[in-house]
Structure 1
Amino acid sequence: MKLIGMIGGMSWESSALYYRLLNQAAHRRLGGHHNARSVLYTLDFDGINRMAAEGRWDEVGAVLADAARRLESAGADFVLITAVSGHAVAAAVEAAMRVPLLHLADPLGEALRAQGITTVGLLGTRYTMEMDFFTDRLRDRFGLEVLVPPPDQRSALHSIIIEELTLGRVTPQARTTLLAIAGELASRGAGAVAVACTELPILAELDAYAVPAFDVVQLHVEAALERALTESSAAPGG
């Protein structure tokens, strides 16, 4: 099994989720006492969150690129960014390494295309919903139409994620808000919703949504395990 490198700490709650799901998937696949071979580099979220909020994405990119190089030096065969918003600097991470970055949007795009879904609603942080790093990849690579909530709902969802979920707080009111936002995306024509935040699965199970919901973290983890088990050494950027 190849060694999976993970850039974590954005937040540690999301890193813990990735670690648990990855090892559970390895056990289901391999049985016995198997788990996934991995190395996790944990960043301090406070500084990264402040840089992102101030729009200092070049600095965020430099921090994540440094983490990626450290993972490569530790022997990682490929790298995951264990946060959706962190993919805003995916290009900087890819440029810093010789080993591949497994981009989180790609397994989602493949899953949606396989089920014939052409319009998807996007749920995540303000960065994920308003910046183009996620929506453009889905549109350009998979031909998907991506719908996002209106500004007030984006702000409300971002606040829930950053001020509650990343601190481990889960409330019924937040769950109700999330599902209502998803329902409005469905009413606008979304054939599915992408649960595109590592913390959101903590808040609501997938079958609670009005339309099929795709957990991007679970898809990312499954794709990582598949690569670790089946692929020969990939070329840089693969």
Structure 2
Amino acid sequence: MKKLGLIGGLGPESTVEYYQKIISKYQERVGTKEDLPEFLINSINMYKVFELIDSNQINGLTDYLTDAVKKLEQIGADYAAISANTPHIVFDQVQERVQIPMISIVEETYQAVQEKGLQRIGLLGTKFTMEHDFFKTPFSENDKTIVVPTASEQSYIHEKIVKELENGIVNEQTKADYIDIINRMIDEKNVEGIILGCTELPMILKDDDLDILLFNTTEIHISKIVETMFN
């Protein structure tokens, strides 16, 4: 069985969810609660990642994440995954510099949207995910449209992710505001689905909150991670 190397800490709350759900999905796959997957976690500093991106130190971010994956390589990981959307800004650059294959949360989310046949999809996440093109590229290359909130809405979403969700705080007013933003995107931009492009967003937005498909990038990523253990 292949051994996973997981880059965590991006942030801590979602890393806990990755850990628990990887175990749960693995046990579903093997059909028993009396077995556990053996895998490796390298927990790095979310705030350092944000600082590097905010100051446009893309090479520094690549170095930081490459070093994190290489440490997992050295202790026996057969493949790797980064438990967050934002660091995928440099996913391709990191993959080029490491020996083991990596599973992209962006590519797996694109495949999930493709399976549903949607053409116009809304994207929520950190300001870095919404501002940069790394998440939008596979969609635009295949004639699909990614729609993001307004600049002021992006700032609000990002602030609440960093100050609340990254610290495990689920605020009902924030949830209501997020839902209002999504409903505006449905009404004004005709989006057919919403990508929860931050691994903390499923803490606050659930499938039954909205009359639209939500793509939980955490769930999508974890499903592929566990599948790869057996391949």
What TM-score, normalized by structure 1, do the two folds share?
0.91
Shift of 1:2: 0.8
Gaps of 5+ in 2: none
RMSD across aligned positions (CA): 1.4
The one-letter code sitting in structure 1 at the alignment partner of 2:96 is: A
Distance 1:36 1:119 in 2: 37
1:105 equivalent to 2:106? Answer: yes
Between the aligned partners of 2:3 and 2:143, the Cα distance in structure 1 is: 32
Q: Match of 2:134? A: 133
Amino acid at match of 2:17: L
- SS of match in other structure, 1:186: helix
Task: Give 1:66's aligned residue.
Answer: 67
1:1-238 alignment, distance < 5 Å: 1-32=1-32, 33-140=34-141, 142-187=142-187, 188-230=189-231
Instruction: Tell me the distance in 2 between the aligned counterparts of 1:64 and 1:181.
Output: 32
* Contact persistence 2:85–2:199 (CA under 8 A): yes
For residue 107 of structure 1, what is the amino acid of its counterpart?
Answer: E
- Native 8 Å contact 1:77 1:99 kept in 2: yes
CA distance in 1, matches of 2:177, 2:78: 40
Deviations 1:193-223 (A, max 9, x none): 1111111011121221231111011001001
Residue type at the aligned position of 2:88: H
Identity of aligned residues (%): 26
Going from structure 1 to structure 2, the CA distance change for 1:48 and 1:110 (only over 3 Å counts) comes to closer
- Structure 1 pair 183–36 and aligned structure 2 pair: CA distance change class (3 A): farther
Give the aligned length. Answer: 229
Once the two structures are superposed, residues 56-98 of structure 1 have per-residue CA deviations (whole angstroms, 9 ceiling, x without a partner) of 2221221111001111111111110111001011123202211
Q: One-letter code of the match for 1:196?
A: G
The letter of the residue matching 2:197 is A
In the alignment, structure 1 segments of 5+ residues that lack a partner are 231-238
Cα distance in 2 between the residues matched to 1:47 and 1:145: 31
Q: What SS does the corresponding residue of 1:132 show, helix, strand or coil?
A: coil
